[in-house]
Structure 1
Amino acid sequence: MSDTPPDRLALDPRSPYHDIEAINRGVGVRFNGEERDNVEEYCVSEGWIRVQVGRARDRRGNPMTIKIKGQVEPYYLT
């Protein structure tokens, strides 16, 4: 495995961008210079992250998310 995290990563196992090896290794996200620990999905090339909106759920029981645009810097924790 390389030392750079994937360009796009999602925590949802149904997503095509879900990479269990990268998630198990531990990926941190710095968004606009601030550490974020509530990121559900990110994309470096498009410059956005998806975060949960409070405790709201959709009709399937998944957390409601919003997309925020800005500078995304993923890194491995170890």
Structure 2
Amino acid sequence: MTETTTAPPLPDRLSVDPGSPYHVAAVFEHEIGIRFNGKERSDVEEYCLSEGWVKVPAGRALDRKGKPMMIKLKGKVEAFYR
């Protein structure tokens, strides 16, 4: 079956967390890929293209609300639809 809907443009900043103001549900209806410093990453929770950073979980550490602790990595960020 062919898909006739087009994917919305990827925003400059996007978050996986539905409680975040940067979460765009329409984007997550399609599969997204993130390339950070030339390598594809599958553990990115949030990214910002213009500022050049991604947030990824810091091991198994959890915050007081039970969510993974995040670290911010800076570098070249590319977002794309698969």
* TM-score normalised by length of structure 2: 0.87
The answer to whether the aligner puts 1:29 opposite 2:34 as a matched pair is: yes
Which residue number corresponds to residue 15 of structure 1?
Answer: 20
Structure number with greater CO (CA < 8 Å, separation at least 6) is 1
The count of residues paired between Structure 1 and Structure 2 equals 77
Which residue number corresponds to residue 39 of structure 1?
Answer: 44
More strand per residue: 1 or 2?
1
8 Å CA contact 2:15–2:22 kept in 1: the answer is yes
Structure with bigger gyration radius: 2
Q: What is the RMSD of the two structures over their aligned residues, measured on CA atoms?
A: 1.3
Gaps (5+ residues) in structure 2? 1-5
Percent of aligned pairs with the same residue?
55
Gaps (5+ residues) in structure 1? none
More helix per residue: 1 or 2?
1
